[in-house]
Amino acid sequence: MIDVLVAFLALIFAILTFFAPIIALVLLLILKVPFKKAWFTTNWVLSALALIIVIPALIANHFEDKSYIKKLDAKYEVMEKEGLSEEPSTDKILAETYQTGSFRRSGRRSGNPLVNYIIKNYNDTTFKGTLTLKAYHNGEKMGENEFQIELGSGEGFTDYIRPQKLNINKKIWPHVEFEYTIEGSFSP
């Protein structure tokens, strides 16, 4: 979600400093509209268009993450019913991975393919350690990546990784499976 906000702010900056002045200059030359008025109007119109695009993306991202957190909560409830020890354990730290986006036929990226992961600590203590994400295709390990994590009690975290960092290409993208391991220590 932070990535979308940063991209939005960068887009607004680009509109204010680059696109709006060029459009205002064109309007001045062609339609004889005063530069300041054209620049002001263009800023507002382009910023509003950017908001129309960014707000639905933020909302969709938020609800997609919420649905995966609900899945983690449901998994934990089942584990709790089966009996978990009271001691802190990496068994009480759950993660979920999912793919978003796709590749174009020509090989260039379209739809921004990403491997997303959500992790949540169900322990009563803080966890500090590593999450290792592994990608498999037809049982063969394609790649792995390690992330440093620190999660407080009941705290969750979401992030993504580019498929290329796990040696995933467009041919195998739809058929990749993921596994994760969690290692680390607990502190009160």
The pLDDT tens digits for 59-102 are 776 677 778 888 889 999 998 888 888 889 888 999 999 888 77
Asked whether residue 77 is assigned to any structural domain, the reply reads no
37 in the same domain as 118: no
Q: Which residue, 45, 61, 77, sits at the end of a domain?
A: 61
Asked whether residue 12 is assigned to any structural domain, the reply reads yes
Give the Cα-Cα-Cα angle 108, 60, 77 (nearest 5 degrees): 110
Q: What is the mean pLDDT of residues 16-28?
A: 88
Q: How many domains does the chain have?
A: 2
124 in the same domain as 39: no
Closest by CA position to 98, among listed 159, 43, 45, 24: 159
Its domain, for residue 179, covers 87-187
Asked whether residue 79 is assigned to any structural domain, the reply reads no
Asked whether residue 109 is assigned to any structural domain, the reply reads yes
3-class DSSP state for residue 87? coil
147 contacts 119 by C-beta, under 8 angstroms: no
pTM of the model: 0.67
pLDDT for the residue 150: 92
Asked whether residue 175 is assigned to any structural domain, the reply reads yes
172 in the same domain as 118: yes
Q: Which value, in Å, is the radius of gyration of the alpha carbons in the chain?
A: 23
Give the Cα separation of 169 and 107 in Å (integer).
9
State how far the alpha carbon of 42 is from the alpha carbons of 32, 38, 55, in Å. Answer: 15, 6, 20
Q: Is the pLDDT of residue 110 over 90?
A: no
Closest by CA position to 157, among listed 72, 55, 58, 60: 72
Give the Cα separation of 95 and 132 in Å (integer).
11
Give the Cα separation of 145 and 58 in Å (integer).
26
Give pLDDT tens digits for 124-166: 999 999 999 999 999 999 999 999 999 999 888 888 888 989 9
Asked whether residue 119 is assigned to any structural domain, the reply reads yes
Beta-sheet strands, E only, within 4-161: 93-103, 109-121, 126-137, 140-151, 156-161
Asked whether residue 121 is assigned to any structural domain, the reply reads yes
Name the amino acid, one letter, at 60.
A
Q: Is the pLDDT of residue 111 over 80?
A: no
102 in the same domain as 166: yes
Asked whether residue 71 is assigned to any structural domain, the reply reads no
175 in the same domain as 115: yes
